[in-house]
Structure 1
Amino acid sequence: MSLDDAVQDLADRLGVALVVVDHDLRIAAFSVHDTDARLARLARLLAGSTAPLTKPLVEQHRVRQARHGVRVPQDDGELVVLPLRHEQQLLGYVYYVEDRDTPRADDLAVLESAAPEMGALLSLRISDRRHGTENSRQLLAELLGESPEKRAEAAGKLVRDNLIDDVEHYSVLVLRAPDSAPRSITRLAVEATLEFTTRSTTVKIVGAVLGAEGIVLFPRPVNRDRLERALAGPGLEVVVAGVGSVRPSLAQAVDSYHEARLAQRASRLDPQRYGKRVFWDELGLDRLFLQLPLDRLTPSQFPDGVRRLLDAPHGVELAATLEGYLDSGGEIQSAARRLRIHRSTLYYRLDRIREVIGCDITDGSIRLELHAGLRIARLAGLWPHE
């Protein structure tokens, strides 16, 4: 018997919506129901951050140490929780909310009698999950690696092992915490994305941590709103997410991966413009600039006008003014609004810029040179300082 079958049989005997979670409160199995009341109850039990069983509750009521079922009063019914163990090791919990008008007196005994078998089955589920995680990590590494032959083999195995859906559109999400943050934050971001997607859709996705990056492979375009909700947990606000474009085959997902890496790089280099969730399709000309050896550029390699502006007194103010002016297509009123300054102030600064760079900023080729140069300087970290 599988864990899913055991949970379903027990839920049918008790007449409740039943959920099994591992020791980190990640969902391992849950019962299936066809009545509106039970479906509503199950939806609440599976509702992530609003689910009734939380880590603070486990600690407060000493559920971890309990050897029998624990009853916890709640606003809309009593939460019944039972630890699941195998070979004396705590593996997780089975729980339900008591909302029946006439519960049976022996319900807790029935639940406890099923606990040994469910603990053993949960142990197998966790073992399978760990094996699947390692298998997914290896296949993802090969799918996104340099060898076309290994990419093709990994793509076929991911589909044959039923780890990912066989479709005609794949996209890659790259997650990364700041270098100053613990590496575990990236792993938590991957797990949060996997759990949210599994809980909210029937889509099969694959995720793993490769080096410093968290990688999640989707058989569809990545939805921005769902991504935001998946990464809304505590501690994950520092994680940068880069999303590649959709590719028509699994073997070509490596191209979406490279785009996703560049997208998350854009966030790290210019967080003010891009924020923490960046899609390849949003990058515009930065798609090209981000592929330059930005870390090896020096001010001397920039055009003279750009270099003079970067070195000038009040360079940060003048550079930002010129950038805003050029971003607005040279239209004064629009540029003044963008920069939040009066038009007379803008005219004054533009005169100063002309003096500093010694160029005609109405010339199209000069504008292109200045605009591209300033953008690359910002991405390269060569923007002037106060």
Structure 2
Amino acid sequence: MDRFPELDDAVQNLSEDLDHRLVVIDRSMRVVSYSMHESPEDRRRLFHILAHSDSWPHPRTATTPYQVVAMEEIGPVLFLRMLDSRKYIIGHLVLSVTNQEAEQSFLARLDSAIARLSELLAARQHDAMDREARSYHLAAQLVSADTQSREKSAEALISERFLSSSEGFCAVALGIDPRDMNPLNKEKSAQAVASTLRYVRENSTATVIGGVLDTDGGIGVLVFPRPVVVPRLRRILEDPQLAPVRAGIGPLVPLAETHRSFERACLAWRASWLAPENHGIVTTWEHVGLDGTLARLPLEDFTPEDLPSAIRDLLSATDSPVLLDTLEAYLVAGGDAQQTARTLNIHRSTLYYRLDKLRNLIPGDFHDGILRNELHTGLRMARLAGLLKN
């Protein structure tokens, strides 16, 4: 939870004037400030609020200044709305009360202080929005092509305490397959960045920055001062509202080289949507393999004429998915017939029959290492380019 000294001090002063323990929550029901809670019972109540307030139903204070709600494990709780200058609800002052304390005389004492607390909370939120916008801008600059911009961004991120000093930083590229771009998907990158930043902020005190590049479709960028936990990022992106966003994770590098991590993150991301059947919605550069290298090519624009000659000849002779899948499995198995038959779940005699047909279609010897490399890589290129039937 971020600290905001003026708001914190005002909450503490009011707490001592009223002789009540106070908590301030924002619009999302997250705790943003609280007074000292000294007794065991007060601390137990505070811990419960810190752990559960964001799952509480929003108090019904749109047409009334306050509401008293009986909360499990806490008892009667007073929610007093806090308004900004436009009279929009920006949060609530929360305190445990008895039925007698919820009477007008007690509420009047709170009412005289709520305006000041609301002003300070609004200022805190305004500063937070300004800081968030600054963070977005610096994140995009950090991975830009301009060396001077990258250097200034790296210096500002540390000096302005957006990121802590670390031995290594990890970049993430995220967005949707550009071929699936439509008005509904256009803002998905920004939504995915915002969701990830919100998740980190609400569940830890860790520092992460993010933004969206000014490109067609807008590729999102996240920068972590540590390795990324893949299952955690996957859970975030599995939210149906973020589909079909996918992410690529670059290697850990010094801050000044974050753009290089982002370059590889982009390649892993590209590979994941070029071959979604082979890669999860979160893919790392370390595990994307040859597909990451091939992703440097403009595969979306490939035609059969762009493939190696052996594959061109093969695709002109047959478009049978069965034969092509058999050849690919055979090459992946390093020419091991027994392993290939197990992979395809077929009898070995069936495999030999298919291989004989393939030998009649491909000039050259399957035992020739150069030919096998050309066939293996060429088939992968054709599959990533979408030139093979499924």
Alignment of 1:198-347 (within 5 A): 198-211=201-214, 212-248=218-254, 250-347=255-352
Q: Does 1:44 align with 2:51?
A: yes
- Shift of the alpha carbon at 1:218? 0.9
TM-score under structure 1 length normalisation = 0.83
Q: Is the 8 A contact 1:26 1:195 kept in 2?
A: no
- What is the root-mean-square deviation in Å for CA atoms of aligned residues? 3.0
Which whole-Å CA distance do the structure 2 matches of 1:228 and 1:236 have between them?
11
Change (3 A) 1:300 1:203: same
- Give the letter for the 2:48 counterpart: R
CA contact (8 A) 2:208 2:223 kept: yes
- The one-letter code matched in structure 2 to 1:89 is K
| Alpha-carbon shift at residue 369 of structure 1 (Å) | 0.7
Paired residue type of 2:210: G
| Structure 2 Cα separation of the partners of residues 80 and 348 of structure 1 | 79
Secondary structure (helix, strand or coil) at the match of 2:167 reads coil
Rounded to whole Å, the distance in 2 between the matches of 1:37 and 1:153 is: 46
Mapping of 1:32-111 within 5 angstroms?
A: 37-38=44-45, 40-45=47-52, 51-53=54-56, 57-58=57-58, 62-63=60-61, 65-72=62-69, 81-94=79-92, 105-106=101-102, 109=107
SS in 2 for 1:272: coil
Provide the rounded CA distance (Å) in 1 between the counterparts of 2:314 and 2:73. Answer: 65
- Report Cα offsets for 1:292-311 as digits up to 9, x if no partner: 23234321232333123333
Kept in 1, the 8 Å contact 2:140–2:221? The answer is no
* Contact 2:267–2:293 (8 Å) recurs in 1: no
Deviation at 1:273, TM superposition (A): 0.5
Partner of 1:197: 200
Quick check: 282-291 or 85-94, which moved more? 85-94
Offset at residue 169 of structure 1 (A): 0.5
Aligned-partner SS, 1:93: strand
- In structure 1, give the amino acid aligned to 2:188: I
Match of 1:122 in 2: 121
TM-score by length of 2: 0.83
Counterparts of residues 140-159 of structure 1 (less than 5 Å)? 140-159=139-158
335-344 or 159-168, which deviates more? 335-344
Count of residue pairs brought into register by the alignment: 369
Cα-to-partner distance string for 1:70-92 (whole Å, 9 max, x where unaligned)? 34556656675443211233242
List alignment gaps of at least 5 residues for structure 2: none
Q: Which amino acid aligns with 1:151?
A: R
For residues 71 and 361 of structure 1, do their structure 2 counterparts lie closer, same or farther at Cα, with a shift above 3 Å needed?
Answer: farther
Q: Is the CA contact (8 Å cut-off) linking 2:329 and 2:343 kept in structure 1? A: yes
- How far does residue 96 in structure 1 lie from its aligned partner after superposition? 5.4
SS at match of 2:117: helix
Conserved? CA contact 2:319–2:388, under 8 Å: no
The unaligned stretches of length 5 or more in structure 1 are none
| 1:28–1:122 contact (8 Å) kept in structure 2 | no
Contact 2:140 2:212 in 1 (8 A): no
Distance in 2 (CA, whole Å) between partners of 1:8 and 1:315 is 75
**C-alpha separation between the residues in 2 aligned to 1:287 and 1:334?**
26
Report Cα offsets for 1:258-284 as digits up to 9, x if no partner: 111111111110011002101111112
CA distance in 2: counterparts of 1:244 and 1:269, whole angstroms: 17
Bigger CA drift: 116-125 or 69-78?
69-78
Deviates more, 1:219-228 or 1:140-149: 140-149
Instruction: Determine which structure has more spread, i.e. the larger CA radius of gyration.
Output: 2
More off after superposition, 313-322 vs 108-117: 108-117
The answer (yes or no) to whether the contact 1:28–1:125 under 8 Å persists in 2 is: no
1:104-141 alpha-carbon deviations (Å, 9 max, x no partner): 62498366555323322222122212211222222223
Mapping 1:124-139, distance limit 5 Å = 124-139=123-138
* Separation of aligned partners in 2, 1:4 and 1:347: 77
Cross-structure match for 1:367: 372
Q: In terms of mean alpha carbon deviation, does 32-41 or 338-347 score higher? A: 32-41
Tell me how far 1:208 sits from its aligned partner: 1.4
What amino acid maps onto 1:244 in structure 2? G
**What amino acid sits opposite 1:161 in the alignment?**
E
Percentage identity across aligned positions? 33
**What letter is aligned with 1:37?**
R
Deviation at 1:158, TM superposition (A): 1.1
Distance across 2 between alignment mates of 1:349 and 1:26: 64
Structure 1 window deviating more from structure 2 (293-302 vs 265-274): it is 293-302
Q: Which amino acid aligns with 1:271?
A: P
The Cα offsets for residues 316-363 of structure 1, whole Å up to 9 and x where unpaired, read as 222222112222222223323333333333222222222222332232
The verdict on how the C-alpha distance between 1:344 and 1:304 changes in structure 2, with shifts beyond 3 A counting, is same
Per-residue CA deviations over 1:215-255 (Å, capped at 9, x if unaligned) read 1111111111221233344412421111111002x111000
Deviates more, 1:158-167 or 1:174-183: 174-183
- State whether residues 25 and 94 of structure 2, in contact with CA within 8 Å, keep that contact through their aligned partners in structure 1: no
Query: Could you give the per-residue CA deviations for residues 167-203 of structure 1, whole angstroms, max 9, x where no partner exists?
Result: 2211111221352343332222111211221233322
Contact 2:172 / 2:262 at 8 angstroms: preserved in 1?
Answer: yes
Checking the alignment, whether the CA contact within 8 Å between 2:90 and 2:122 is kept in structure 1 is no
